[in-house]
Amino acid sequence: MSDLVVRGGWVLVGIVALSFFAWAMIVGAWWRLKSQETASTPWAERVVKAVRAGDLPAAAEICRERTSLVGRFLFAGLAGRDPRLYFADRHVTPVLRGEATALARFLPQIAVLGSSLPLLGLLGTILGMVETFSAITRHGTQEVSQLADGVSQALITTQAGLVAALPVLVLHRYLASRVRRCMEMMQLYGKQVQAAIVHGRHA
C-alpha cells in the first residue's frame, strides 16, 4: 500500500482522502434513513381506519408511538387544530420539501465527491504523462525506469479514481431513491388520511 501511495503521488493521497469523506457522509445519510419506513405498514392502515371512524385522538396516539418520518408527519397533522387543512396540498408541499431537504442533507456533497474522484484520477493521468514526456525530453527513450514511473503514476491514479467513484455514485443513487420513497409514503398516507377525514365527516 505504501508503495502504491509513493507511486501515485499526492493525487492518490487526495483520492483516498476524498473517498474517506464520501464514505463518512454515506454512513451519516444511511443512518438518517435507517429508521424510516418505506413500505406499506399495518400501523398506518390502522390510523386510516381510526380516522374514518372519527376517532382522531386514537389515530394521533398510534402515530405518536412511531419514530419514523411518516409517523411524525401524520401525528403533526392529526394533533393539530384542523387536520383536513393540514393535509391539504398547499400546506403539505412546504412540509414535504423541508423534510426532504433535511433527510437528503448529505446527498449533494456525496454526489460532488463521487463525481470529483474520476476527475482527480484523470488529473493524475495527465501529470503522469507529463512526467513521462519530460523524461523522454531529458533522457530520450533510454531511461526506461523514468518512463515507467510516469506511466505507473498515470495508470494507478486513473484506476484508483474509477474504483473509488463507482461505489460512491451507486450508493448515492440508492440513498436518493430511499429519500424519494420516504417522501412518496408521506404524501400517500397524508392523502389517505385527508380522504378518511372527509369520508368520516360525510358519513
CB of 4 closer than 8 Å to CB of 156: yes
pLDDT band at 9 (very low <50, low <70, confident <90, very high): confident
CB of 175 closer than 8 Å to CB of 30: yes
pLDDT digits (tens, 9 = 90+) for 136-173: 666 665 555 656 666 666 778 888 889 999 999 999 99
pLDDT band at 203 (very low <50, low <70, confident <90, very high): very low
Q: Where are the alpha helices (DSSP H) in the chain?
A: 2-34, 42-52, 56-64, 69-78, 83-86, 89-103, 107-139, 144-202
Q: pLDDT at residue 68 above 80?
A: no
CB of 82 closer than 8 Å to CB of 122: no
